Amino acid sequence: MNESWNDTSPRRRGHLLDVAVVGGGMVGAAAALALGRAGFSVALVDAREPAPWAAADEVDLRVVGLAPSSIALLDQLGAWEAIRSARASGYDRIVVWDAESGATIRFDAADEGRDVLGYIVENALVQASLWHALDDAGVRRIVPAEVTSLSQREDRAQLELADGQSVSARLIVAADGAESPLRAMVGIGTHGRDYAQRAVVAHVETDRPHERTAWQRFLPTGPLAMLPLADGRSSVVWSLPEAEAQRVLGLDDDGFREALGVASDFRLGPIGAVTRRAAFPLRLKLADRYEADRLALLGDAAHAVHPLAGQGVNLGLRDVVELRDTLVDARHAGRDIAATHVLRRYARRRRSADGLDAWSFDALARIYAWQAPPLVAARGVGVRVLDALGPLKRKIARHAAGL
Ligand SMILES: Cc1cc2nc3c(=O)[nH]c(=O)nc-3n(C[C@H](O)[C@H](O)[C@H](O)COP(=O)(O)OP(=O)(O)OC[C@H]3O[C@@H](n4cnc5c(N)ncnc54)[C@H](O)[C@@H]3O)c2cc1C
């Protein structure tokens, strides 16, 4: 158990916190930090210590594209400068093309009047930077500590931990990931679908430079993204049906280089050195509700989405902003921060926004899976028209940026 909790635990076991955040991934750690900086008494509980990050280490296999709205939040929280200067890769162009029709759509930072469209960063770096800032914001870390049960009373909720300790708070924030044990404990169901796909990830060298561009090719089997890394390599996120993902994972390096080269249409030339590979299951999983008695869901616990639009964590960080602002307003008004109408306000605002985005990503995945020639032709026309329609394209870019 972390010292910052150990040294006070005997006295504080019964102490009532404002908020206990369960799950210290990127979203939960940002929530704990944002609420701590807003003056709430906060504890962050996680079953595991976050993975350490060091500049000398190989780039973490899990990277995300952070939108301007996420960077603005990290900046407000005092974490962005450390992330940017450690290892972040700004990209100023997104090029998406259809393997079947060849239709292409491009987004340029210059068209948006911005220097960059976003940054590719390592999950482990973002998480480590947020955890590093927790002490300064007065957030207590309770780690490693697995939550085994939750009870809700009139004025508080209580978490029981696997080591026998308990934590009481006015509000529990569940940021415990797509399989959210807390969501199950309070009986909130989910809907969505399993794509029966996996995203194979790896970092690769390419013959041609990535040109600070996020490349994405839609194949009938799923999208292949090649995201620019700061060291000149590209980070591959290749969505494939389960069996095909297994086959690609099992290839030797030469076989993988060849398969990836073909799948990317050699857009960045032949593939050079490759790292080890990993794979993540893809699903759309939306919580039926974002709130229960004295509990709010956010991040993947509320919405796990297809990574094709690179928006999962960006949506989660927008949940953080909405929850913080809602709780601050409630406190100003002298209300209980976990009152039903307070949590419903947060839930109403985020659930509709997240749901709209999640189903749009799902629709995109389905449209790009069409293979019948007339449908492929129609898709090609649609994409070309969209690319030519400046105002509509700009609207999409601004939405993805969270502006
Ligand atoms: C291949 C791939 C590519 C992606 N690319 C992008 C991208 O480009 N852009 C983007 O925005 N998003 C992307 N995403 C999505 C993004 O990675 C997720 O949305 C994000 O990591 C979710 O963060 P989280 O903090 O909500 O959950 P998690 O990172 O899952 O964190 C949950 C935490 O809860 C803890 N926990 C769980 N149960 C308990 C318990 N009982 N007690 C205590 N602690 C517990 C876990 O230890 C963990 O630390 C991608 C996802 C995948 C799979």
Cβ contact 224:239 at 8 Å: yes
Alpha helices in 9-62 (DSSP H): 9-12, 26-37
CA of 374 to the centre of ligand 1 (A): 38
CB crowding 141-157: b at 16 or more within 10 Å, else e? bbbebbbeebeeeeebb
Q: Which residues, 6 or more positions from 214, have their beta carbon under 8 angstroms from its beta carbon?
A: 65, 91, 93, 94, 95, 117, 120, 225, 226, 227, 228, 310
Atom of ligand 1 nearest to the CA of 199: 1
> Which residue has the least CA distance to atom 50 on ligand 1?
307
Domains and CATH numbers, the chain: 3-91+117-194+285-366 (3.50.50.60)
Whole-number average pLDDT of the chain: 91
Distance of CA 26 from the midpoint of ligand 1 (Å): 7
Residue 15, amino acid: H
Measured in angstroms, how far is the CA atom of residue 203 from the centroid of ligand 1? 20
The dihedrals phi and psi of 96, each to the nearest 5 degrees, come to -120, 125
Instruction: For residue 288, give the DSSP letter.
Output: S
381 CA → ligand 1 middle, Å: 36
Report which ligand 1 atom has the smallest distance to the Cα of 65. Answer: 8
pLDDT in tens, 107-142: 899 988 889 999 999 999 999 999 999 999 999 999
Pocket test for ligand 1, best of 313, 317, 320 (most atoms within 8 A of CB): 313
Q: Ligand 1 atom 53: the closest Cα is on which residue? A: 280
- Show the tokens assigned to 294: 């004295």
Ligand 1 atom closest to Cα of residue 300? 26
Q: How much distance in Å is there from the Cα of 191 to the middle of ligand 1?
A: 18
- Alpha carbon of 111 to ligand 1 centroid (Å): 32
Closest CA to 44 of 25, 61, 57, 63: 25
Q: How far is CA 338 from the centre of its chain?
A: 25
Q: Quote the tokens at residue 54.
A: 């060091």
| Six-digit token string for 256 | 């993988």
Query: Ligand 1 pocket: which residues have CB below 6 Å?
Result: 22-28, 45-48, 64-65, 123, 146-147, 175-177, 181, 199, 201, 237, 280, 299-300, 307, 310-314, 316
Phi-psi label, residue 220: left if phi above 0, alpha if psi -120 to 50, beta otherwise: alpha
H helix runs in 240-339, sequence order: 242-250, 253-263, 312-332
Q: Name residues of the chain where pLDDT drops below 70.
A: 1-14, 368, 379, 381-382, 385-386, 390, 393
Ligand 1 midpoint to CA 195 (Å): 18
Ligand 1 centroid to Cα of residue 177, in Å, is 5
Q: How many Cβ atoms are within 10 Å of 362's Cβ, its own excluded? A: 18
Q: What pTM does this model have?
A: 0.92
Q: What is the pLDDT of residues 316-341, one digit of tens each?
A: 999 999 999 999 999 999 999 999 99
Burial profile 329-341: b = 16 or more Cβ within 10 angstroms, e = fewer: ebbeeeeebbeee
pLDDT at res. 14:
58
Predicted pLDDT at 353 = 86
- Give the mutation target among 46, 130, 147, 179 for probing the ligand 1 site: most ligand atoms within 8 A of CB: 46
Nearest CA to ligand 1 atom 3: 307
